[in-house]
Amino acid sequence: MDHTKLLCDISELNHLFRDSVSVESFLQQITEMVSKHMKTEVCSIYLYDDDGEILTLKATKGLNHEMIGKITLALGEGLTGISLKELRPINISNATQHPDNKLFWGTGEQKYENFLAVPIARGVERIGVLVLQRAQSYTFSDSDILACKAVASQLANIIENARFIISMHSDHEEKSRSLVKKQSRLIHGKVASEGYCLGETLVLDKEKTFNSLLKRRFTRHYTIKDFKNAVKQTANQLEDMQEEVEEKLSDAASLIFASHLLILKDHEFIGQMESMIAMGTNPPQAILQIAKKYMDIFEKAQNVFVREKVQDIEDLTVRLISNITYDQEIISSYKGKVVIARDIFPSELLKMTSEKIGGIILVSGGVTSHLSILASSLAIPMVIANDLTLLDVENKTKVLLDADTGNIYLKPNQDVIDEFQRRNKQREKISQLDHNVKSETKTKDLQKITLLANINLLSDISLAKKVKCEGVGLYRTEFPFIVRNNFPSEQEQYITYRKLITSMKGQPVIFRTLDVGGDKMLSYYHNTIEQNPAIGMRSIRFSLENKEVFIQQIRAILRAGEGEELKIMFPMISSIDEFDAAKNIVLECIESLRNESEEFNSKPAIGMMIELPSVIELIDDFAKEADFFSIGTNDFIQFMLGVDRTNEKVASFYMPYHPSVLRAMKTIVESVQAHGKEISVCGSMSSDKKYIKFLLGIGLKVLSVSPSHLPRIQKVINSITISDAQAYATQLISKNRACDIAKLMGIQDSV
């Protein structure tokens, strides 16, 4: 039987669901669709209730409808129960004779011999069973089973989500809610920043908080004195928070709360509130009305800078109201919370860090996006789960965020928590071992490999040193720019860069010049909205377009590098012309510093990142121009394969093991080394154990990795011989299909 039609219809399930008035009617439509296609007299769906461990008939085409909701089976009871218990399809041609079959009188199923049950499950989570029955003696074929499995797998997702969605528009609202309340739920996402946290959820929906405040009636009347006290108290709190963040993150946190404080001290803003209060308006109402007025004005100008200001006002208003009413419930403390959000600004992430947030679940974004990188630097566990229903989870729901595996357990039961805590103890032991790294990394046949660290914020340095990196292979200078409210001055940059250089005590440091744009927008820069920011005015293009900013940065780097081994690296170079233009600016800065009394490094090595496919054809020529190279695999893969690295929906197409990626990397490494120049890899591929053997096999001797991965990578390198690695790389490269390479690498190919 050709199942193409059914498989096409399955992809329509989501629509079918949206148009249904209830879960029951949706399930009923499914049973009709499947039975029609599979030419069976009966198709039924049973749903499983985890708490009672009971399967209940929820929809059927072919059995007596009066039995819906009445037929129940225990897990493991009858063929249907066994199928769910053992999570496997059961296909029987003479069901009525089967000893495990359980027939229900009144359903009319005694006449059906042919039986197929397919479990509906997500991983090991049991959701229900899809059952097909037919009168004539006929065995369902493998392709029938496959088609039913596809239906079951789609149903699993929809039914899981349905419990949330349906509660919004069905008259079974309370019933569904209580179901949701009781049930634990496992959602699998992608790890963006490793770690774990057991805490309570906090859905970040500031708009909702603000809107509910707008609707609130403040019965108590407050005075102008109360208002002034609240303003003062809010300012004190903001200043304290600012101080605390700065202590921890000196390079990044400068003036994070500055715009809040500025708004708070703005005479217009506060003055208008005071006038309203003087005319008799209750202060909370006055705060809300004026704040709303400002937000409406800002909201109209559709750009990131302004959007962030709207959030600042929202945040500030909530703080003010909380301080005037002494209602601490209004303001959400992030402490220990697992925040669920659609999007978070980098500066917000820092604010959350200052309040010791427990973890983050983002419902959009990509694992190599810069928010993920920042979260890693801040040691905040973060998982990206493409599941919008997470935004409907009630606040204060218990959640276990396992950001080592990407698993999110909502309302985990005690067994899960116990198992998790046992694993944690083990993990702590292992991580102590992890710090027993050697200061030099060698392969099994004693070839030296240099492991450098990727640094995003100065707070990364202590771990980088603990794991004995041999220098910094990538300092992403943009992070201090991204999390601020304005461009840092040359002097501010100098202080940060000098701190990095001196703390690395004579080890080399590669400064990657400003790499903004794409998913690293500067909120304070008046970016024009671009259709495709990843290939827009970003990175080195931004620096060459904004020469003043670039010159300040280069001067700060040259001054900070005085007396040390200094390397400057340009990101996203697409042509030799561009490399020349950037290099010329460095030379001009050296010239102008010579005429000043400042001390500086006049002989930095000048290198470039390889992130764009256009470099491959010109690699021999580039190798003559640049002093060193580093392959930024995050962008290189993105542009080689045309896959947005920040879009989780296309994550399965983002294949580091794609033959073109592997072959191009080999070509690049060989060409650069033939010219006697140094080349490293600094994208996520070098922090991933799976790819190390290949990287060594194509001749790489220097890898720059995120510090938390360094011990693991060192161990992997210790177990590899170069000759084995070379043979392995040759074998991989001989294949022309990603699936074949994936198989050789032990990767589950997802496309």
**What's the rounded Cα separation, in Å, for the pair 699 and 179?**
57
Closer residue to Mg ion (CB): 144 or 611:
611
Q: Could you say which of Mg ion, ligand PEP, none residue 496 binds, taking C-beta under 5 to 8 angstroms by partner kind?
A: none
Q: Could you say which of ligand PEP, Mg ion, none residue 144 binds, taking C-beta under 5 to 8 angstroms by partner kind?
A: none
Q: Could you say which of ligand PEP, Mg ion, none residue 476 binds, taking C-beta under 5 to 8 angstroms by partner kind?
A: ligand PEP
Distances from the Cα of 484 to the Cαs of 44, 246, 261, 525, 564, in angstroms?
A: 58, 12, 14, 11, 28
CB 452 within 8 A of CB 470: yes
Residues near 277 by beta carbon (within 8 Å), at least 6 away in sequence: 224, 227, 283, 286
Closer residue to ligand PEP (CB): 114 or 633:
633
* Positions 624 through 643 that interact with Mg ion (CB under 5 A): 632, 635
CB of 697 to Mg ion, least distance (A): 24
CB of 583 to Mg ion, least distance (A): 19
CB of 376 to Mg ion, least distance (A): 15
CB of 515 to ligand PEP, least distance (A): 6
Q: Could you say which of ligand PEP, Mg ion, none residue 633 binds, taking C-beta under 5 to 8 angstroms by partner kind?
A: ligand PEP
Closer residue to Mg ion (CB): 119 or 632:
632
Q: Could you say which of Mg ion, ligand PEP, none residue 604 binds, taking C-beta under 5 to 8 angstroms by partner kind?
A: none
CB of 611 to Mg ion, least distance (A): 5
Q: Does 406 bind Mg ion (CB under 5 A)?
A: no
Question: Residue 179: what residue type?
Answer: L
CB of 470 to Mg ion, least distance (A): 22
DSSP structure string for 458-486 = GGGHHHHHHTT-SSEEEEETHHHHHTSSS
Q: Is the dihedral of CA 260, 262, 265, 266 positive or negative?
A: negative
Backbone angles phi and psi of 630, in degrees to 5? -140, 130
| Residue linked to tokens 């992030």 | 334
Active site residue 370: yes
Cα-based torsion angle of the residue sequence 92, 95, 98, 104 in order, rounded to the nearest 10 degrees: 140
Distances from the Cα of 739 to the Cαs of 343, 690, 744, in angstroms?
A: 33, 15, 9
Task: Locate all alpha helices (DSSP H) within 355-413, ordered by sequence.
Answer: 370-377
**What's the rounded Cα separation, in Å, for the pair 594 and 599?**
8
Take residue 532 and report the two structure tokens written for it: 């495709």
Closer residue to ligand PEP (CB): 121 or 615:
615
Q: Could you say which of Mg ion, ligand PEP, none residue 682 binds, taking C-beta under 5 to 8 angstroms by partner kind?
A: ligand PEP
Question: Residue 218 burial (CB < 10 Å; 0-12/13-18/19+)?
Answer: middle
Closer residue to Mg ion (CB): 9 or 688:
688
Q: Could you say which of ligand PEP, Mg ion, none residue 209 binds, taking C-beta under 5 to 8 angstroms by partner kind?
A: none
CB 451 within 8 A of CB 703: yes
Nearest to 159 by CA among 20, 36, 35: 20
Q: Could you say which of ligand PEP, Mg ion, none residue 274 binds, taking C-beta under 5 to 8 angstroms by partner kind?
A: none
Based on its alpha-carbon atoms, the radius of gyration of the chain, rounded to whole angstroms, reads: 30
CB of 630 to ligand PEP, least distance (A): 8
**What's the rounded Cα separation, in Å, for the pair 427 and 442?**
25
Neighbours of 428 (CB within 10 A): 10
CB of 488 to Mg ion, least distance (A): 21
Q: Could you say which of ligand PEP, Mg ion, none residue 158 binds, taking C-beta under 5 to 8 angstroms by partner kind?
A: none
Residues near 494 by beta carbon (within 8 Å), at least 6 away in sequence: 556, 559, 560
Closer residue to Mg ion (CB): 381 or 632:
632
Beta bridge partners of 453: 472, 705
CB of 747 to Mg ion, least distance (A): 23
DSSP 487: P
Distances from the Cα of 291 to the Cαs of 226, 233, 298, 611, in angstroms?
A: 18, 18, 11, 44
Beta bridge partners of 56: 47, 72
| Cα end-to-end distance, the chain, whole Å | 25
Q: Could you say which of ligand PEP, Mg ion, none residue 309 binds, taking C-beta under 5 to 8 angstroms by partner kind?
A: none
Q: Could you say which of ligand PEP, Mg ion, none residue 357 binds, taking C-beta under 5 to 8 angstroms by partner kind?
A: none
User: How many CA atoms does the CB half-sphere of 154 hold within 13 Å?
Assistant: 20
* Positions 571 through 630 that interact with Mg ion (CB under 5 A): 611
CB 694 within 8 A of CB 729: yes
* Positions 667 through 726 that interact with Mg ion (CB under 5 A): none
**What's the rounded Cα separation, in Å, for the pair 473 and 455?**
8
**What's the rounded Cα separation, in Å, for the pair 69 and 51?**
17
CB of 558 to Mg ion, least distance (A): 23
Q: Which residues bind ligand PEP (CB under 6 A)?
A: 474, 476, 515, 611, 632-635, 682-683
Closer residue to ligand PEP (CB): 81 or 518:
518
How many residues of this chain bind Mg ion (CB under 5 A)?
A: 3
SS (H, E, C) 668-705: HHHHHHHCCCEEEECCHHHHCHHHHHHHHHCCCCEEEE
Closer residue to ligand PEP (CB): 347 or 539:
539
Closer residue to ligand PEP (CB): 91 or 633:
633
**What's the rounded Cα separation, in Å, for the pair 505 and 471?**
9
Take residue 90 and report the two structure tokens written for it: 């059961």
Closer residue to ligand PEP (CB): 640 or 682:
682
Active site residue 682: yes
CB 369 within 8 A of CB 391: no
Closer residue to Mg ion (CB): 383 or 682:
682
CB of 686 to ligand PEP, least distance (A): 9
Closer residue to ligand PEP (CB): 210 or 542:
542
| Residue linked to tokens 């200061």 | 439
Catalytic site residue from 37, 370, 658, 709: 370
Cα-based torsion angle of the residue sequence 233, 235, 237, 239 in order, rounded to the nearest 10 degrees: -150
Closer residue to Mg ion (CB): 373 or 623:
373
Residues near 623 by beta carbon (within 8 Å), at least 6 away in sequence: 629, 671, 672, 674, 675, 677
Q: Could you say which of Mg ion, ligand PEP, none residue 704 binds, taking C-beta under 5 to 8 angstroms by partner kind?
A: none
Q: Could you say which of ligand PEP, Mg ion, none residue 569 binds, taking C-beta under 5 to 8 angstroms by partner kind?
A: none
Catalytic site residue from 43, 148, 469, 682: 682
CB of 572 to ligand PEP, least distance (A): 8
CB of 200 to ligand PEP, least distance (A): 32
- Any idea which residues carry the catalytic annotation? 370, 682
Which residue ranges make up the site for Mg ion (CB under 5 A)? 611, 632, 635
